[in-house]
Structure 1
Amino acid sequence: MHKDIATPNRTKEILKKYGFSFKKSLGQNFLIDPNILRKITDAANLTQESGAIEIGPGIGALTEQLARACKKVVAFEIDQRLLPILNETLAPYSNVDIIHSDVLKANVKEIIHERMAGIEDIMVVANLPYYVTTPIIMKLLTDNLPIRGLVVMLQKEVADRMTARPGTKDYGSLSIAVQYYTDVEIVMNVPKTVFVPQPNVDSAVIRLTRRSTPRAVVKDESFFFQVTKASFAQRRKTIFNNLSSQLPSGKEKKEAILAALEQANIDPKRRGETLTIEEFARLSDQLYPYFQ
């Protein structure tokens, strides 16, 4: 068994050896607590037949735990300076592929197809860079990938928004987008002290399990998301006012919006944050014909 990469001393040694300095622009915060890394890995319920996709492996601390737990790890790293470090730290593990690429620009589906042929159970497991957490998660959910789900570390406030229920202050279009595709739960909260450098915010690990079918059936998904976004544009406004001011030519279509709200059995005076996903689905289906 090799010495864990993630101990504070070993991390310091590696960074010093390569003269590595953290780039704020890449949101680099490395975990230095092997126990937390093992808990993240455990939360993904991997077996020796599973595959793991990692984003932002850093110096390989989580990658190493994943490599021990599953059959194949494919990790996307955007920072060229980390490639030689990963080459060294992960040398003991032959089941890891590092891809030098921005995951937001990568064809992840194709890469899974090429690098994980024959693997049926695939999870995304990552300590995500905070500045780009939401776009990455949305891309992975909407790209129709053959994955069981995601276990990711992110800002605690973003985790709270993703898991929020209707009628709470954290509930918004992000809660709906994530819960439309997945069942989501917070696995644990993580203090700042287990990172180097320490971030300014607290973190949480969440598990998103893909649903076999979305939580609601809608005529047009992109229009459904357009309606939910519009409904939260200004939180103090009623759903009717938000839709009228935010939907394309909504001001001219106020009558139609009122009619759609009535058909969907939703009081126009309600606020967006009180509507469930099912109510948004009904509403967007009623609005759809008027906005084509």
Structure 2
Amino acid sequence: MNQPYHRYHAKKRFGQHFLHDQYIIDAIINAIYPQYGQAMLEIGPGLGALTHKIEPLINKLTVIEIDRDLTLRLKNHSRLKHKINIFQQDALIFNFSDFSNKKNQLLRIFGNLPYNISTPLIFHLFNHINAIHDMHFMLQQEVADRLLAEPGNKNYSRLSVMSQYYCQMFPVISVPASALTPIPKVNSTVVRFIPIKTTVQSPIHIHALHRITKAAFNQRRKKIQNSLQYLVSIEGLMKMNISPDLRAENISVLQYYQLADWLTKNHG
């Protein structure tokens, strides 16, 4: 079981840490609950810890892997090569919407995300949220804590707001560093993302939300009457029943939604 991990040296530039703990692997597969006929897509299969386990449960699997050596391993695997469709490219530039349209299905996306691209990749996926049924990702503990944080929590951040605007999220399982090779310096958490279908997808509204959250959290210690003074007037805050004395971490996702709505209608 461990032999392949000794023969392959992880590449630092790709942030590779390969999952090998069978209990964790089984728990992730059970959480995903893959079914025949679904459009399953794995980001960063690596040495195939999840890929091998999920393969018997489905009829087709698409994988995105940037590492040429690892894509060759998958292409040459006696069993996997008949079921997997491989894109050797950077997931950060993959067009998930186009792929979903070609499949005529919503995508079920999963993977052990490299720590160095997890946050930008999540934001990239939000741009394609209408093409996604659900996502299951293993993430650095710190990132997972920020995704799941509620207002008033020290981990509540711009990432929390933007993510909770698009998705409901749930922790699935904690993953100790020892479950990975090479062993990272931090633990991980698997998080389930369920897109919120009622979320407003207007580019103008989303741009406004980006502006509001960036201004608020870039000066998170300031009261919003100061951090947002060039975007929303005190009168505007009062009309929305949002206290000007609040700070960024005390404003709910719904209130950020209201602020973005105000900015959209009043053109900033």
User: What TM-score, normalized by structure 1, do the two folds share?
Assistant: 0.84
Who is 1:243 aligned against?
228
2:161 to 176, 181, 187: 176
1:286 to 226, 246, 262: 262
Aligned partner of residue 46 in structure 2, secondary structure? coil
Q: Deviation at 1:73? A: 1.1
Q: Deviation at 1:263? A: 1.4
Who is 1:247 aligned against?
none
1:1-292 matches, within 5 Å, as 7-12=1-6, 16=7, 20-89=8-77, 91-114=79-102, 117=103, 120=105, 122-214=107-199, 220-244=205-229, 250=230, 257-292=233-268
Q: Is the 8 A contact 1:78 1:102 kept in 2?
A: yes
1:284 maps to amino acid: A
Superimposed CA distance per residue, residues 137-186 of structure 1 (whole angstroms, 9 cap, x where no aligned partner):
11112224422110000101100110111111111111111111111011
Q: Deviation at 1:99? A: 0.8
Q: Is the 8 A contact 1:77 1:101 kept in 2?
A: yes
Moved more, 184-193 or 282-291: 282-291
CA distance 1:287–1:99, change in 2 (3 Å) = closer
CA distance 1:219–1:22, change in 2 (3 Å) = closer
User: Structure 2 CA distance, aligned partners of 1:232 and 1:216?
Assistant: 22
2:86 maps to amino acid: I
User: Structure 2 CA distance, aligned partners of 1:134 and 1:23?
Assistant: 20
Q: Deviation at 1:216? A: 10
How many equivalent pairs are there? Answer: 268
RMSD: 2.2
User: Structure 1 CA distance, aligned partners of 2:35 and 2:81?
Assistant: 16
Q: Is the 8 A contact 1:257 1:287 kept in 2?
A: no
Q: Deviation at 1:92? A: 4.1
2:165 maps to amino acid: Y
Moved more, 216-225 or 258-267: 216-225
Gaps of 5+ in 1: 1-6, 245-249
User: Structure 2 CA distance, aligned partners of 1:236 and 1:49?
Assistant: 49
User: Structure 2 CA distance, aligned partners of 1:111 and 1:274?
Assistant: 38
Q: Is the 8 A contact 1:51 1:70 kept in 2?
A: no
CA distance 1:86–1:41, change in 2 (3 Å) = same
User: Structure 2 CA distance, aligned partners of 1:187 and 1:111?
Assistant: 27
User: What TM-score, normalized by structure 2, do the two folds share?
Assistant: 0.92
| Same amino acid, percent of matched pairs | 32
1:70 maps to amino acid: I
User: Structure 1 CA distance, aligned partners of 2:2 and 2:101?
Assistant: 36
User: Structure 1 CA distance, aligned partners of 2:240 and 2:215?
Assistant: 17
Q: Is the 8 A contact 2:100 2:106 kept in 1?
A: no
CA distance 1:171–1:90, change in 2 (3 Å) = farther
User: Structure 1 CA distance, aligned partners of 2:194 and 2:185?
Assistant: 28
